[in-house]
């Protein structure tokens, strides 16, 4: 594998943290490249104050905060506006990841990311970049028949929204282990005339047991065969998983197909932020 090809593919990668994980890092500048985009996971039950404190820390240390906005935990328009006002005014946040969220039942009036986009509040508070969720292996919460029908309809709507507004929109995906499945899905978007750039989710280095647990929780199905095959190899069972193969294969495909719609890599640091950042640096 050409190291320059991999380097180009990983350049400008983003990473995700929780408020708890962020609090354990003294200074992100000691861990990540300058100006790295850092998503802040808003898990149900996390107090908003912790989210805001994390966003301030990220901004103050010279990085780009991108907090999650899970529609189903937002009670109403007043709550959404309060979050946006505080993020913008106190932490200079200008980017957001808009998702439905994992809650089975909405806490209030919103059930999908489309509904919070339609409030037009993100534009009011000068949010310049909005990312939306992508699911290379589908989402059984949205498409219970295991098709991609509803997911694709939602992405088509967001694609049209991007065309009729000046919002910078990209698709940030759930993590996936199978490069072939990723390539097939990404190319299928082009076939549907969805030309939003893709920021592909990749699980960072972690214990195999940890990855399998998160994969089950997050509904990552088809590409789990990569982990299952690894689990059967006793020589690899106790070694941490590293995303070497999937990154190398995607980087090679991108180098041969420059118009390929994967724009950046987004890491889920399931084995720890520092572990993932150090692995990227060495790789």
Q: Give pLDDT, residue 102.
A: 80
Tens digits of per-residue pLDDT, 112-146? 999 999 999 999 999 999 999 998 875 556 645 55
- pTM for this model (two decimals): 0.91
Q: 2 falls in which pLDDT band (50, 70, 90)?
A: confident
Domains and CATH numbers, the chain: 3-282 (3.20.20.220)
Q: 172 falls in which pLDDT band (50, 70, 90)?
A: very high
Please state, rounded to an integer, the average pLDDT across all residues of the chain: 90
Token pair for 28: 């992100």
Tens digits of per-residue pLDDT, 64-86? 999 999 999 999 999 999 999 99
Tens digits of per-residue pLDDT, 258-278? 999 999 999 999 999 999 999
Contact status, residue 37 vs residue 10, Cβ threshold 8 Å: no
Please give the residue that has the higher pLDDT: either 234 or 52.
Answer: 52
Q: Mean pLDDT, to the nearest integer, of 187-202?
A: 96
- C-beta atoms surrounding 35 within 10 Å: 9
Mean pLDDT highest for which of 44-58, 204-218, 224-238?
Answer: 44-58
Q: 223 falls in which pLDDT band (50, 70, 90)?
A: low
Q: Give pLDDT, residue 208.
A: 77
């Amino acid at each position: 594998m050409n190291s320059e090809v991999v380097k180009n593919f990983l350049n400008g990668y983003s990473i995700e943290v929780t408020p708890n994980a962020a609090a354990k890092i003294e200074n992100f500048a000691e861990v990540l490249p300058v100006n790295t985009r850092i998503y802040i996971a808003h898990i149900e039950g996390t107090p908003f104050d912790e989210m805001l404190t994390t966003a301030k820390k990220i901004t103050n240390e010279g990085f780009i905060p991108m907090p999650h906005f899970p529609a189903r935990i937002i009670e109403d328009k007043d709550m959404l506006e309060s979050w946006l006002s505080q993020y913008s005014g106190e932490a200079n946040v200008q980017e957001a990841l808009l998702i439905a969220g994992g809650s089975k039942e909405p806490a209030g009036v919103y059930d999908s990311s489309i509904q919070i986009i339609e409030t037009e509040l993100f534009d009011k508070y000068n949010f310049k970049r909005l990312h939306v969720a992508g699911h290379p292996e589908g989402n059984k919460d949205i498409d219970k028949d295991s098709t991609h029908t509803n997911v694709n309809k939602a992405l088509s709507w967001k694609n049209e929204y991007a065309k009729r507004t000046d919002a910078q929109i990209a698709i940030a995906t759930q993590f996936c282990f199978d490069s072939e499945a990723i390539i097939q899905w990404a190319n299928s978007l082009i076939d549907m005339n969805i030309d939003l750039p893709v920021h592909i989710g990749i699980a960072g280095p972690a214990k195999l047991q940890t990855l399998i647990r998160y994969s089950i929780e997050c509904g990552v199905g088809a590409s789990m065969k990569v982990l299952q095959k690894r689990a059967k190899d006793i020589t690899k069972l106790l070694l941490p998983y590293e995303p070497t193969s999937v990154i190398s294969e995607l980087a090679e495909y991108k180098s041969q197909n420059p118009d390929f719609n994967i724009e950046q890599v987004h890491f889920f640091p399931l084995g720890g932020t520092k572990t993932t950042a150090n692995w990227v640096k060495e790789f």
